[in-house]
């Protein structure tokens, strides 16, 4: 089996694949203060609860946008599984042509997203990855990665608003039924969620206008459920919460081969 790990700014996501099938998926919060032993204990508890036989894991691949955690998980995997994990980075085969100014600066998470969409959904495509940051990336008619647009993530935007004002309260992100809020929490949430929706919709339309053709649209990321959960997505928008995990699997297969 193959273990894939996506080290993100807010969450560390794990997937265990048997060939092409995602058998298990789980996550823990990202915490730069946690030690190898603390992460190991947290994972051991999850693995036990899910009744996962880790002795069958014979390959590991990691994407990381949190450099301090890369060494933590490298040591954790070596200690727990006696495997040297493959990290996405320069020299790793992806099958993706990256046509930007500095290809080596492209985040490993976006590489995984792009590979996943290219091989599983096709192109041209626009990928909307909603997390700590909103990342909109584009694959052209040839399947080449041609650029990205970043904006503050929904939670980051709300936190910045609250921390910059004296009287606005902390709120839980919940999609209100109407755009015009009748109270402060609903007003904050309406601005955050409907405002982001309008911004993202506008950016997608502007990107397609710049490219000169329509694209497949794929939505993913930890905050994507705020748009997906009510079933109100446009019919041409694909939702895939495991997009990066499948991308990691595909990249591993290109470099090492399929795991049984």
- 24 and 136: one domain? no
What is the C-alpha to C-alpha distance for residues 101 and 24, in angstroms, rounded to an integer?
37
Distances (CA, A) of 39 to 65, 92, 148, 242: 17, 26, 32, 22
Are 113 and 166 in a shared domain?
Answer: yes
| pLDDT above 80 (res 186) | yes
Domain count, the chain: 2
Q: Are residues 63 and 183 in the same domain?
A: no
Residue 257, pLDDT above cutoff 70: yes
Same domain, yes or no: 143 and 225:
yes
Q: Which residue has the higher pLDDT, 223 or 61?
A: 61
SS3 of residue 23 by DSSP: strand
d(CA 22, CA 20): 7
In a domain, 98, yes or no: no
Domain boundary (52, 87, 122) is at 87
Higher-confidence position of 173 and 99: 99
Q: Looking at the predicted structure, is the pLDDT value of residue 241 above 60?
A: yes
Question: Per residue in 105-146, pLDDT tens?
Answer: 999 999 999 999 999 999 999 999 999 899 999 999 999 999
Mean pLDDT of 31-42: 92
Q: Does residue 135 share a domain with residue 48?
A: no
The reply to whether 203 and 238 lie within a common domain is yes
Say whether 170 sits in a helix, a strand or coil.
coil
Do 137 and 34 share a structural domain? no
Residue 253 placed within a domain: no
Task: Evaluate if residue 163 carries a pLDDT over 60.
Answer: yes
Is pLDDT above 70 for 234? no
In degrees and rounded to multiples of 5, residue 203 shows phi and psi of: -65, -40
Of residues 227 and 181, which shows the higher confidence score?
Answer: 181
Tell me: do 59 and 22 sit in the same domain.
yes
Which of 60, 87, 114 corresponds to the end of one domain?
Answer: 87
Q: Is residue 129 part of a domain?
A: yes
Q: Is-catalytic flag, 109?
A: yes
**Does residue 235 sit in helix, strand or coil?**
coil
Shared domain for 156 and 187, answered yes or no, is yes
pTM greater than 0.85: yes
CATH number, domain containing residue 63: 3.30.420.40
Range of the structural domain that residue 44 is part of: 2-87
Q: Among residues 6, 109, 113, 129, which one is catalytic?
A: 109
Do 229 and 134 sit in the same domain of this protein? yes
- Averaged pLDDT for residues 218-224: 91
pLDDT value of residue 196: 92
Answer yes or no: is 256 within a domain: no
Phi, psi of 118 (to 5 degrees): -55, -45
37: Cβ contacts below 8 Å, ≥ 6 apart: none
pLDDT score recorded for residue 230: 56
- Quick one: what percent of the chain has pLDDT higher than 90? 79
Note the pLDDT of residue 235.
64
pLDDT recorded at residue 233: 59
The answer to whether position 136 is within a domain reads yes
Q: What is the mean pLDDT of the chain?
A: 92
Together in a domain, 174 and 209: yes
Is residue 70 domain-shared with residue 169, that is, in the same domain?
A: no
């Amino acid at each position: 089996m193959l273990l894939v790990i996506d080290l993100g700014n807010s969450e560390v996501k794990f997937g265990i694949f048997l060939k092409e099938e995602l058998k298990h998926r789980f996550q823990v919060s990202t915490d730069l203060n946690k030690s190898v032993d603390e992460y190991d204990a947290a994972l051991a508890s999850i693995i036990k609860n899910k009744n996962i036989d880790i002795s069958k894991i014979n390959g590991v691949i990691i994407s990381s946008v949190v450099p301090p955690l890369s060494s933590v998980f490298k040591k954790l995997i070596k200690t727990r599984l006696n495997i040297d994990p493959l990290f996405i980075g320069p020299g790793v085969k992806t099958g993706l042509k990256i046509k930007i100014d500095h290809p080596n600066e492209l985040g490993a998470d976006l590489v995984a997203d792009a590979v996943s969409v290219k091989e599983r959904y096709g192109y041209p495509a626009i990928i909307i990855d909603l997390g700590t940051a909103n990342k909109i990336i584009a694959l052209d008619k040839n399947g080449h990665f041609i650029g990205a647009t970043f904006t503050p993530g929904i939670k980051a935007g709300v936190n910045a608003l609250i921390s910059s004002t004296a009287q606005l309260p902390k709120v839980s992100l919940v999609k209100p039924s109407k755009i015009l809020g009748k109270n402060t929490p609903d007003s904050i949430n309406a601005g955050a969620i409907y405002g982001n929706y309008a911004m993202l919709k506008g950016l997608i339309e502007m990107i397609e206008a710049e490219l000169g053709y329509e694209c497949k649209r794929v939505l993913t990321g930890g905050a994507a459920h705020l748009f997906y959960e009510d079933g109100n997505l446009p019919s041409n928008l694909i939702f895939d919460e495991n997009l990066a995990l499948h991308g990691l699997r595909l990249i591993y297969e290109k470099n090492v081969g399929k795991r049984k």
